[in-house]
A and B are shown apart, each in its own frame.
Chain A
Amino acid sequence: MNIDKIRIEFQKTYDEYADAIFRYCYFQVSDREKAKDLAQDTFLKFWEYVASGKQVEYVKSFLYRIASNTVIDERRKKKTISLEKITENGHDWADEKDEEKQKEIIYEGRRAIETVAKLPEKYRDVLMLRYVDDLSIKEIAKIIDEKENNVSVRINRGLEKLKNILNEGKNNE
């Protein structure tokens, strides 16, 4: 495949998965700007791979795998400020509403981010990949490099924790 065709395929892949990869990163780091950078890094690494002439059989899983590794690298480099800390320190979500560019952000998503940030890191990705990105357990196992059984256990435990968090939120309202 020549480079022009690769570039066209790459752009199609970007159009199809940009939001999903961004969302995945956002749930992992709870920081919108950081999530954009991580999504960019993910596609940059993907480009480097495909432009060197290598074939990718399962693009979706491959992209999530890159994103997962990119997030892990980022965490190792610098501990990301968690959303809990931001809210504890009095971050005002309403500030973002004032920004013109934020108009298109769907604000219902804010609560989801807050909720996910309360989950331990090890449950975040499996739950999001399973229920938000609709990936199979087999695909998730491949992405996070774990056995399928472990993924299932993690999803069940994570789901229990998520339910508790949602219940707590409901009781506080």
Chain B
Amino acid sequence: MNNKELQNFIDQAKSIKMTAEEKSLLRSKLSSLPIPSPLQIARSPYLAKSHFWTLGKALVAACLIVVLGGGSLSYAAESSLPGQLLYPVKTKFNEEIATVVKFKPEDKLAWQEKMVERRLKEIEALTERNKLNDRAKIQIEKNLEKHLNKIRKLKKGSNIDDNPTIMKIEKAKTGLKKKENREDKPKQKKLKERDDQERDDIDDLD
């Protein structure tokens, strides 16, 4: 057999394709595929696209923050860091309200991931200022655990082992743990009790 015959065979093989009709039919089938997420829920196409709906949610969130929380306190708490007085207002009030007004599961998930990013930035900020004390570490760890559980719940049914946010949380928790192990345990326990007491006090206020 010479190369020409082999080339003929290859040319014949390359000529095989779908008909234009078949290709177009398959294309239209694939174009209407839904988002394959377990988080997807059926909803009205009008609601999903409505700007009024989005605007409405933003207004509700804004009203709740202003009316219930007090605008200035809430605003000030946004820049607080773990271990500071206003930090529980940031995590237990501002962020909780924002969580309540997330209706779509994918928005809820995105918000949890954003909160994880906020926690990581807080660690960075505290480390830079050399203020990553035990109390702050415990607060961050508890919050990260909370976000981790919520993400797991929201992503139920799908593989999350390679989820970058989960990996970040685990990495941050390991980092904090290493630092904790170097600390004096009785001192840590005392601080934890004090922190729990403070949280209970804030809960009572709510």
Contacts and interface: CB of A to CB of B under 8 A. Distances in A.
B166 to A, nearest CB: 14
B30 A43 contact: yes
A18 B27 contact: yes
Contact of A40 (B30, B35, B37): B30
Specify the main secondary structure of chain A where it touches its partner: helix
Contacts of B20: 104
Given A10-B30, A47-B30, A52-B37, A106 B19 contact: no
Interface stretch (B2-10, B73-81, B179-187, B189-197): B2-10
A157 B137 CA distance: 63
Interface string B122-137: 0000000000000000
Nearest to B10: A131
A135 interface: no
Nearest to A24: B16
Contact of B15 (A11, A108, A128, A166): A108
Contacts of B1: 163, 166-167, 170
Given A15-B27, A18-B26, A40-B29, A106 B15 contact: yes
Contacts of B29: 40
A109 B36 contact: no
Interface stretch (A66-74, A112-120, A136-144): A112-120
B13 interface: yes
Given A109-B16, A170-B5, A101 B31 contact: no
B23 A108 contact: no
Contacts of A116: 13
Contacts of B14: 23, 132
Contact of B36 (A19, A52, A101): A52
Contacts of B44: none
Contact of A101 (B13, B17, B21, B158): B21
Contact of A106 (B10, B16, B26): B16
Contacts of A14: 26-27, 30
Of B9, B12, B16, most A-chain CB atoms within 10 Å? B16
Interface of B: 1, 5-6, 9-23, 26-27, 29-31, 33, 35-37, 158
* Top-10 shortest CB links A-B: A109-B16, A19-B17, A112-B12, A112-B13, A106-B15, A48-B36, A104-B19, A108-B12, A132-B13, A163-B1
